[in-house]
Amino acid sequence: METKKFDLRLMDGEILKRQEDKLTFIPPFSYGERSTHIDYKLVKGFGGDALVPIIKYNIFSEYQDLVHGFSTRMGGTSHAHLGSMNLSFSRGDEHENVIVNHKRFAMAVGYDWERLVFSDQVHKAEIYKVTHEDIGKGITKESDIKEIDALMTNERGIPLMTFYADCVPVFFYDPVKKVVALAHSGWKGTVLKISEKVIKAMGDTYGSSASDILCAISPSICQSCYEVSDDVIKQFLDAFGESAKDFFYEKGNGKYQLNLHEACKYTMILAGITEEHIAMPDLCTCCNPNVLFSHRASNGKRGNLGAVIMLAEDNGIN
């Protein structure tokens, strides 16, 4: 398949003149049909015009009270290896650039950037219940949300955000009880079955039923790109038993290729989610380092992508 590499020099003003160069991912891999589409928004007024792409999940399309999105590298104002849409304050970027990037991404997706709530992500499986008292934590005020890899809330108008560059982001939405959650599921979080824990926490805290919850596994490293050593595989075997053998294949010399997406999906099914309520990813960060931040592809010289989810203010439709 012929693919067109996206030129990072074509950012911001220039990209507007070349709309035909809309993002082409290399190659869109798939566990079936494409699960995502890309929404392009022209954002004006934050340091110049910018075309901001947002990766959205088709499984959520019909829900008008759900706001969600996953960022790309495009449409921001940061430079070099942070270019251009770095959403993290912890990657050595200038504070001002990160704020402009947040303003643009928030405008494009449709939430108030000053109300964002961040996790701090330490590769554990602790879940934090977000309320209106947490609004702005991590972006406009100091955060006391520590050692947290998953956020959940049933309050409207509070955008939750987690950060990525190869690790697996997971979106959760219960359209019946009106609950949203986000989890950071790297290999350690996946071994700890963080998705299963989030689904249980949604039930315990808000009365969500697993049969109602929709899950989307976002762009992250694919099996072909994800080589791991036997110490990682041992932990998967300890956590999942024989089932772990469905998640990897051996290459020899103590090296394996691991499929975090399938492992993550397995933990959702353990929690009672039906297969048709799980959207698998169709883009790999490491296969697409020009358009998505990838830790592996960049040897750690990279910014962070963001996943955001929010229950919209009640508009009377739902």
Q: Cis peptide leading into 220, omega within 30 of 0?
A: no
| Shortest separation between residue 287's beta carbon and Zn ion, angstroms | 3
Nearest approach, Cβ of residue 209 and Zn ion (Å): 35
- CB nearer to Zn ion: pick between 193 and 261: 261
* Nearer residue to Zn ion within complex by CB, 107 or 222: 222
Residues 267-286 that bind Zn ion (CB under 5 A): 284, 286
Residues 214-233 that bind Zn ion (CB under 5 A): 222, 225
Give 158 or 292: the residue with its C-beta nearer to Zn ion.
292
Q: Least distance (Å) from Zn ion to the CB of residue 257?
A: 10
* Non-local CB neighbours of 302 within 8 Å, separated by 6+ positions: 81, 82, 91, 165, 293, 294, 295
Strand partners, 160: 117, 309
Q: Which is nearer to Zn ion, 74 or 286 (CB)?
A: 286
Residue (287 or 311) nearer to Zn ion, CB: 287
Q: Tell me which residue has its CB nearest to Zn ion.
A: 284
Which CB, 284 or 305, lies closer to Zn ion?
A: 284
Least distance CB 305 / Zn ion (angstroms): 15
Per DSSP (E only), the strands in the chain are 36-43, 50-57, 66-70, 117-118, 127-129, 150-153, 160-164, 168-174, 179-185, 214-217, 227-229, 248-252, 255-258, 278-279, 305-311
CB of 288 to Zn ion, least distance (A): 8
Is 68:314 a contact under the CB 8 Å cutoff? no
Residue 299 Cβ, how far from Zn ion at the closest point, in Å?
Answer: 16
- Total residues at the site for Zn ion (CB under 5 A)? 5
**152 lies in the binding site for Zn ion (CB under 5 A):** no
> Is-contact 280 214, C-beta < 8 A?
no
Find the shortest distance in angstroms from Cβ 170 to Zn ion.
18
Nearest to 52 by CA among 127, 91, 110, 97: 110
Q: Are 305 and 285 spatial neighbours (Cβ–Cβ below 8 Å)?
A: yes
Angle at 133 between CA 56 and CA 86, to 5 degrees: 40
Identity of the residue, 71 or 294, whose beta carbon is nearer to Zn ion in the bound complex: 294
Q: Locate 280 and state its tokens.
A: 């698998």
The interface mask with Zn ion, positions 284-303, x = CB under 5 A, is x-xx----------------
Residue 203 belongs to what H/E stretch?
Answer: helix 194-206
User: Quick one: tokens of 23?
Assistant: 């993002």
The whole-angstrom separation of Cα 289 and Cα 157 is: 32
Binding region for Zn ion (CB under 5 A): 222, 225, 284, 286-287
